[in-house]
Amino acid sequence: MLSGLDLPEKWSLIMDNLIITIGRQYGSGGHEIGEKLAAHLGIKFYDQELLTVAAKHSGLSRDLLEINDEKPMSLLFSLSTGGYGADMSINHKLFLAQFEAIQLVARESPCVIVGRCADYALRDFSNCVNVFVYADLPHRIRRISNLYEKPARVAEETIIRTDRRRASYYSYYTGKKWGSMENYDIALNTSRVGIDNAVKLIADFAQMQKDREPIG
């Protein structure tokens, strides 16, 4: 349970069909928010865990899925797998495996899903709350530096590279702009609100949607 975080008893009313997707800038705390939110609500959490589900149901190697997780297909990988045409087929299979895994877990039980174009994969699901988490760059640099004991310069380079990769992946597979507000129901700046307050705000927002109109 999160210290100082009290959610209304009415949350029990929406546990049967609530799905929350979280898109995130690198270093903004999206993974931690998702994990804490899922734990507090008593629902399942998927980030890297989604790769295991995708591998199990697609027959593809989990290692292959992990290597290419949220990455557009690279030229190096293209050459290593025997040509451009073969690559495009593999690339499509990798994305489709995750896409189907997202829909599978969303149908099975309420959950929180981080990244991997989940908002797009579940665009026809009426029981979703789609969130984007971001933060000011200096805040993210400090956070990554502290978490991984990296110099600030290295942390900044990692942030820029990772965000660029995620944006490219999202745009390629959805035809939409990563982080654009029309793709989400709520966006939170964690450098202003913090991690625990972000969890509470998402919970409150989802409850507000439940009160406004039925989910599902």
**For each of the chain's 216 residues, which pLDDT tens digit applies?**
444 455 444 444 445 689 999 999 999 999 999 999 999 888 999 999 999 999 999 898 899 888 878 876 543 344 344 433 444 457 778 889 999 999 999 999 999 999 999 999 999 998 999 999 999 999 999 999 999 999 999 999 999 999 999 999 999 889 999 999 999 999 999 999 999 999 999 999 988 876 665 554
Any idea how long the chain is? 216
* Domain assignment of residue 159, yes or no: yes
* Domain assignment of residue 9, yes or no: no
pLDDT at residue number 92: 77
Region label for 5, one of left (φ > 0), alpha (ψ between -120 and 50) or beta (otherwise): beta
pTM of the model: 0.84
* Domain assignment of residue 3, yes or no: no
If one counts the domains in the chain, the total is 1
Sheet holding 111-114, edge to edge: 44-46, 111-114, 19-24, 128-134, 186-189
* Domain assignment of residue 160, yes or no: yes
pLDDT at residue number 78: 41
CATH number at residue 123: 3.40.50.300
Tell me the residue ranges of DSSP E strands in 30-136.
Answer: 44-46, 111-114, 128-134
* Domain assignment of residue 144, yes or no: yes
* Domain assignment of residue 1, yes or no: no
Domain with 182 in it: 19-207
* Domain assignment of residue 161, yes or no: yes
